[in-house]
Structure 1
Amino acid sequence: MSSIVKNELLKRLFEAGGEPVSGQEIAEQFGLSRTAIWKYVKELEQDGYEIGTIRKKGYYLIQAPDLVNEANVQNHLATKTYGRNILYYETCPSTQLIAHDEAQNGAADGTVVISEEQTSGKGRLSRPWSSVSGKGIWMSVIARPQLTPQQAPQMTLVAAVAVTRAIEELTGIEPSIKWPNDILVDGRKVTGILTELQADPDRVKAIILGIGMNVNQEEADFPEELRDIASSLKLATGKEVDRAKLIAKILGYLELYVDMYVKHGFAPIKLVWEGYSNTMGKRIRAVMLHETIEGTAIGISDEGVLEVRLDDGSIRGIFSADIEIPK
């Protein structure tokens, strides 16, 4: 009950745009006393919200803290489905694990699990992912598109396009996409995307899109061994980025492009993806589980497979690999 009242109070404060919100009206709505509402206001102040009071008129929002909770994100949201149900944690082992459980239990399409911090975050191939508290975006989105399991792998590329468009629109910088799941700024990684599937043999039940993004980290926030290969949006732009606003933009583009993929297939997404690619036309090294090959990346197929022209002129499709660009 307390979280419901606090979220409603925050929602009203945001919608009021600095005008006073009646504590009495909220108290009557939830069958509470005005003293109870005052206590919730004090709790919000402890969370970092700066709230003013006008006698006999109510409360007004002066400033909101940099949190990625439901109220802050939904204040910027313009979607129909994505982000309309948000599960927020101050800390958790992994948003991906929670999202899998929620999906199994029937969570709605577009449900988002967000945490300020992950203690056991993971990336592709179960690699650990550093998730600094309060400085990044660590979230998992539960999508339930009408797709076959064979169409699910392309969702990584759909998500990459959505995230890239959102970063570009909000910050003005131009990210690039490294196949299959990394987003780079100035050649250094700022985002990783992990796509996992819950499916029957003939239909997708849920796709869990894990998105880990370095947003406001300083260089000192990265382990020494990552400082040459990882970056953050703040390091790239020189200024703090509003994480809640960026999440709302990501969810907006994700809803747009998932719907486009379901209705029109992968072709229109493929064109956008290739426009952001950092590998097309370049000589690459593809490191796979049992072999390593070199050649020129010439594009991606309609199945999201990376196509590489080898030195003998033959074309090889790469389904999964670590991609390196030899210097």
Structure 2
Amino acid sequence: MIHGKRGAGLRAMHDDGIQVWRDAIESLIRERGLKVVDRAAVFRETLSTQDAARGLAGGRPGLVVLAGRQSGGRGRLGRSWADTSSMGVAATFVVEMRAEAAGRLSAVGGVAACLAVEAGLERSAGGGESAAARVGLRWPNDVVERSGDGEGSGGGRKIAGVLIESGDGVALVGIGINVGQDENDWPDELRGRAASLRQLGSAASRLEVILALIERFDCVMAMSDAQVERWWSEREVLLGSVRTFEHNGVRHTGVVEAIGVSIGVVLGTPAGRVELPALTTSLVHE
């Protein structure tokens, strides 16, 4: 069921464009027989879809919350996510939380976001390389532009990100995707580090990206752990690159010899091989 009731700090969407969003999402849920997503709330503006979802879900999974504009989004480790200014997609999926689910959900969110970006790039003008060859996943779940230098390149500008939180017996999978921004729309600190689908030549609308994201998230959630790992590994961009990771406050720099949802990060360093666990290891952005 689509609903748009008000919550603290929220303004429900009432313009014509938003009604189109609601109708399209309702049709998708009904006609595609989605298994994980069964209802949605769409807002014109909110500080955070994570907070909105937490308040609206009432501990019941199946909800997706979308906002036309998210002005106070956040990322992993307390980092802020740039104001979407009605040019990006901000979504939070409320799913069942299991004890073993945190690492899996991180991968699911990353793969679903990457597949949605790939779908958006299929709307690019002209031919050229495939959408899957243009973007990839950078640990643990950032969707980035491939730099074109092959293995060891480490990926380029960030297109989408994922945040996993939990509470009231459910997990919140927040996904932000840059859709309509131009170079001048980015703040100075993100210029050259962030990119949108539009900058990559895509003509996809936000609604098209939203529908692709919802359908692909539902699909990836139904995959086995082995399938999720395979899809994630096929898209990762750090293997063979020299990177710095942080675990328990200690930084380790070396060549990424192996990396994966289940195995974590394996670095080759001057002092020897270092194995870092998946859930508590972060990539240091330099």
Which TM class, normalised by the smaller chain length? Answer: 0.7 to 0.9
Matched, 1:290 2:249: yes
Contact 2:238-2:256 at 8 Å conserved across structures: yes
Contact 2:18-2:44 at 8 Å conserved across structures: no
Partner of 1:166: 116
Matched, 1:240 2:203: yes
| Structure 1 residues 278 and 301: CA distance shift in structure 2, 3 A | closer
What's the CA shift for 1:181? 2.4
TM-score of the superposed pair, with normalisation by structure 2: 0.79
What's the CA shift for 1:278? 0.8
Give the stretch that moved more between structures: 228-237 or 289-298.
289-298
What's the CA shift for 1:289? 5.8
Partner of 1:95: 49
**Matching residue's letter, 1:70:** R
Partner of 1:225: 189
Structure 1 moving runs of 4+ over 6 Å: none
TM-score of the superposed pair, with normalisation by structure 1: 0.70
Contact 1:151-1:303 at 8 Å conserved across structures: no
The higher relative CO (CA closer than 8 Å, separation ≥ 6) is in: 2
**Matching residue's letter, 1:98:** A
What's the CA shift for 1:160? 0.7
What's the CA shift for 1:301? 4.7
Deviations 1:79-100 (A, max 9, x none): 4244431111111111101112
**Matching residue's letter, 1:112:** V
Contact 1:157-1:304 at 8 Å conserved across structures: no
2:38 to 70, 81, 84: 84
Provide the identity percentage.
Answer: 24
CA distance in 1, matches of 2:242, 2:63: 39
2:161 to 189, 192, 197: 192
Q: RMSD value over aligned CA atoms? A: 2.6
Matched, 1:322 2:272: no
Contact 1:288-1:322 at 8 Å conserved across structures: no
Give the stretch that moved more between structures: 149-158 or 77-86.
77-86
The alignment partner of 1:231 has SS state of: coil
2:213 to 250, 260, 263: 250
| Structure 1 residues 248 and 110: CA distance shift in structure 2, 3 A | farther
The alignment partner of 2:172 has SS state of: strand
Q: Which has the higher strand share?
A: 2
Aligned residues: 253
What's the CA shift for 1:288? 4.7
Partner of 1:58: none
Unpaired runs of 5+ residues, structure 2, are 5-12, 123-130, 147-155
Q: Which has the higher helix share?
A: 1
- Give matches, 1:137-216, under 5 Å: 137-144=89-96, 147=98, 149-172=99-122, 173=131, 174-186=134-146, 187-198=156-167, 205-216=169-180
1:127 to 47, 63, 79: 79
CA distance in 1, matches of 2:190, 2:164: 23
